[in-house]
Amino acid sequence: MKTHINEVFSSIQGEGILIGRRQVFVRFSGCNLDCNYCDTPKSRNPLFGDLISTGELYNKIKKIITPDFHSISFTGGEPLLHVDFIKNFLEEHKFKSLLETNGSLPNELQKIAELLDFVSLDIKLPEHEAYKNWDDLIGLELESIKLLRDEEINTYCKVVVMPGTKVDMIGFIASKIADEVQNTSKLSMVIQPVNPLDLWVDGTNKLFEISEEAGKYIDVLIIPQVHKLLKMR
């Protein structure tokens, strides 16, 4: 089995609960959403990158593993568009793994949930303009979160916020998660301020307000993209 992979590289995880961990990033090509803040637009092209097999991917990974290696990050694009490839790879090679997904494909996620160690699920806001119907999208993302917590997978929900993001919207999403997901242990919401951080020079009060509102319903953290502050890939 082969699929299109944009790039394979080693770096420090700069987002979420695994921040600071050394990972090998496997960036898949193609995405089913169209977010206006996307920082890897080339990954939207499903034919971008090299067509490689699971064995070839294993060889690429082995060549760049370092003594401080923690896990593989399957990212994109949207890696769940390649779910059969990922399933075969993890069944063949027992790496610890993080899936970075937009959560819009719960049926595909179901196929590999038990093989995953961590999941970063990126909840989209209406202003991200990612999907034709936001109500449908948030419903799919909630379905994915429930599935992951039923499997007791370490999961965090990442929400990219902008200076214009409404505090009430973040509260609404956090309350929906609290209402619909029975098992919220080991489930956090990571608020990620959109880059560049210069946009937030006068916006720290807004971030406090967002954190306080989300904190009424769910464990919450505010974490910027640290790898960009360190000028890492």
User: Domain spans of the chain?
Assistant: 2-229
pLDDT at position 220: 97
Higher pLDDT, 61 or 1: 61
Task: Quote the pLDDT of residue 189.
Answer: 97
Q: What is the model's pLDDT at position 43?
A: 75
Q: How many CB atoms lie within 10 A of CB 3?
A: 23
CB 173 within 8 A of CB 218: no
CA-to-CA dists, residue 170 to 105, 164, 179, angstroms: 22, 12, 14
User: pLDDT of 30-85, one tens digit each?
Assistant: 999 888 877 777 777 788 888 999 999 999 999 999 999 999 999 999 999 999 99
The band of 199, judged by pLDDT with boundaries at 50, 70 and 90, is confident
pLDDT digits (tens, 9 = 90+) for 97-148: 999 999 999 999 999 999 999 999 999 998 887 778 899 999 999 999 999 9
The pLDDT-based confidence of 185 (bands split at 50, 70, 90) is confident
Spatial distance between the Cα atoms of 161 and 210, rounded to a whole number of angstroms: 9
Among 29-33, 170-174, 215-219, name the one with the lowest average pLDDT.
Answer: 29-33
CA 207 to each of CA 2, 79, 193, 196, 219: distance values in angstroms, whole numbers, following the listed order: 43, 30, 8, 15, 15
Asked if residues 12 and 98 have their Cβ atoms less than 8 Å apart, the reply is no
> Angle at CA 198, nearest 5°, toward 192 and 200?
55
More confident residue, 44 or 157: 157
Q: How far is CA 69 from the centre of its chain?
A: 19
In this predicted structure, the answer to whether residue 232 has a pLDDT above a threshold of 90 is no
Name the CATH code of domain 2-229 (choices 3.90.226.30, 3.30.1450.10, 3.20.20.70, 3.40.50.2300): 3.20.20.70
Amino acid 203: pLDDT: 67
User: Which has more confidence, 196 or 149?
Assistant: 149
pLDDT digits (tens, 9 = 90+) for 12-30: 999 999 999 999 999 999 9
Answer with the residue of higher pLDDT: 203 or 76.
76
The fraction of the chain above a pLDDT of 90, given in percent, is 73
